[in-house]
Amino acid sequence: MKHNTCKKLLICSLLLVSWAVYSQDKDSLSTKGKEIEKIVITGQYLQQSIDKSIYQIEVISQEDIKNRAASTIADILDYNLNFVTIPSSTSGNSDASLFGLDSQYFKVLIDNIPLVSDNGMGGSVDLTKIDLDNVERIEIVRGSLGVDYGSNSLTGLINIITKKKIPGKWKISGYVQEETVGDEYDWKEKGKHIQSLDVAHNITDKWYVSVNANHNDFEGFFGEKEGKRHYKNEGGKRGYEWLPKEQWNAKALINFRSEKFSAFYKVHYLNEIVNYYNPIVNWQSLVQGVPYTYSSKDRDYKTDRWGHHLFLNATLFNRIDYKGDFSYQKQDREYRDYIYDIGKREVFGSKEAYKNYAYTDAWYTRGTFSRFLNSKVFDFQLGYEFNLVEGFRSARSNPLVGGSSVSGFKEDIKDHLDNYDVFVSGELRTNVGLSLRPGFRNSFNSKFDDQQSYSLSMKFELSKSSDIRAEVATTNRTPNFDELHTYFVNTNHDIQGNPDLVPEKGYSSAIHLNKRIKTESGFKAELNLSTLYINLDDKIELSITNLSPLKYRYLNVDKYKTWGVLAGSSLRYKNLSFSLGISYFGVSLALEDNINGTLIEEVPDTDYLYSLQLNSSLNYTIPKWKTTFSVYYKYNGKEPRYILNTDEKFYRLGEQDGYSLLDASIRKSLFKNTVELTVGARNLFNVKDVNTTAAGSGAHQGPVSSINLFYGRSYFVKLGFNLNI
């Protein structure tokens, strides 16, 4: 980092420390002896009830996860409004979008720590690589959180909170889950097979430990293909429509808690192997003098991810509350090639050693100071966040099946992208029910100019049962590794990164109205109405810079705006709970491509293209039977979108068809709640491909008429046990 930036960091830190003069009492988690149903930590100075949070936060409970028999966070978010998970059947990975912007624009955290990914920390996270074992709840905030959590959080944030306590001395739990993949299943080579084991122990009143292991074996989806043993070369029938992949997750936690100090250390490990079976079959002799056989050159892709997290919560000088997170994470991406002898149904010789083509090495720390004064009127927080990320791409980076690349590099590249951030915010609570929180963050970046983020949040209690929240916040997104360094040039492609890119600049504003209803008969209801606006300038796109020969380059050229309304309601009466949500959002783009010095006609930035989403859930419990019946529904409406017609040099309007998802399950407790059986079905409407005229040809593909999002209707059985000793 430059010397002047270091001086700025030191001066700013000293100034912020000198401002530390206010704080608040810790919010009790009980009110008059009654347990508060929902507590949150995302964006809070101290954990507190969701009703007191100045941010609008959605909580996905452990019960929802159990009712869905969800194995990854992607299974859950598919049914949430404004989220769309986009899996790739050909790579085994997945992406997700929120408000139409991809996963680079929202952050994924585990216990307040951004998760490492191919492009840094928190963004571009593959949600299918995050299992839900040992998860207590999931907190979701929509809209920018740039002051609290830094860059790449324009559309929102997902914070996965893990369990750190048990009620008894020992808890031993686990489950096995068998699931069809579409209509395909057997015990060995078809379907999905999941096993999990969790052991937790309260050593004393202060010390707690837990360990967890999870194995998720997805055998792939054949569909119209014939699997790895198919030997005919016609029609590309060998292989799978959805690639097989196997995941191992392991976690361990040690937690200490006392009156004025608490801490935990957590380690997690992910190993994932994706198998690609080449559709090209060769008829050849693998060894000279040996008869000919059918064979193919196949490939395995491996992801290894390690994460270490140390959390400290201390009371300093008998007053100041300090929370500090320290993390080291590394993700390695590797591949290996081998020859598969189809005739003998075995690997010929031995598989090659794995070759590393990408890694991300990240050190991270975040700390906050509050409670400088014992005041319930004014709260003040100072914070720092240091993020040191090293990225690596080899010249064979991102090798796709068949030996090609989605993006390559001229040579091996290793680069740093480090942030040194300081932030401050204050929260004022008045006696008329009005709370205000302004905030500011300054980010000192090793590659780009200093970036600033601002926010102003407000909450006003209209009555004891209703409130209104509003916020305006800014954030930025720094260019990722591929956008800066891509260099893939051959006779068919010319795709280049751009080291002169600048961070994207965005802001969001929102208003949320909430109403709670509770009657003496036990009826409870929550009604929510929100409107949200997001604006993004200098959006980075892979832009066409020349038509003949065809050339692409990453440029800061586009503008993106979205706004709309969300409405939701949740009702609970005795053993019945019901929810209904609706989202109607429009997207406005200002797109441009400069081809051979000629600017293509821009998409009018005044036109909003709207799409509708609905979701609903119904849960009914019969206590006598210890059984819960659940139904989850989501409708993704038609999605219009402008795409570039490179032949005639203009943008045309396309559309992706709408589709509906429906899941249903029955969950029953047996043998005094020590055994739990869940059976159900996913994707009951049997959705597979979704027709579209809104997918451009891109840099590596021809025109697309449909998108393969799902593999159809599937069924599952989950058998779990829970022993409290």
Residue 157 falls inside a structural domain: yes
**Integer angstrom CA distances of residue 531 from 425, 513, 563:** 24, 9, 7
Q: Quote the number of domains for the chain.
A: 1
Neighbours of 722 (CB within 10 A): 15
Binned at pLDDT 50, 70 and 90, residue 65 comes out as very high
- pLDDT band at residue 650, thresholds of 50, 70 and 90? low
What residues form DSSP beta bridges with 262? 257, 313
Predicted structure pTM score: 0.90
User: Among residues of the chain, what percentage have pLDDT more than 90?
Assistant: 70
Residue 402 has pLDDT above 60, yes or no: no
495 in any annotated domain: yes
What whole-number distance in Å separates Cα of residue 62 and Cα of residue 622? 19
Secondary structure class of 253 (helix, strand, coil): strand
Model confidence band, residue 563 (pLDDT cutoffs 50, 70, 90): very high
Residue 195's CATH number = 2.40.170.20
Structural domain range at position 319: 3-236+247-724
19, 424 in Cβ contact below 8 A? yes
pLDDT at position 495: 77
pLDDT digit string (tens) for 568-585?
999 999 999 999 999 999
Please give the pLDDT value at position 277: 94
Of the candidates 558, 566, 444, 458, which has an alpha carbon nearest to the alpha carbon of residue 501?
558
Buried b (16+ CB within 10 A) or exposed e, 503-518: bbbbbbbbbbbbbeee
Is the pLDDT at 289 greater than 90, yes or no?
no
Strands 156-162 and 135-142, by their bridges, are antiparallel
Rounded to whole angstroms, what are the CA distances from 341 to 298, 338, 351, 430?
Answer: 10, 10, 12, 75
Express as a percent the part of the chain with pLDDT over 70: 87
pLDDT of 26 strictly over 60: no
pLDDT band for position 555 (cuts 50, 70, 90)? confident
Q: Which of 28-42, 61-75, 378-392 has the lowest mean pLDDT?
A: 28-42
pLDDT single digits (tens) 308-351: 999 999 999 888 999 999 999 999 999 999 999 999 999 999 99
Mean pLDDT of the chain: 87
With respect to residue 242, please indicate whether it lies within any of the assigned structural domains.
Answer: no
The 8-class DSSP code of residue 535 comes to E
Rounded to whole angstroms, the Cα distance separating 106 from 123 reads 6
In a domain, 690, yes or no: yes
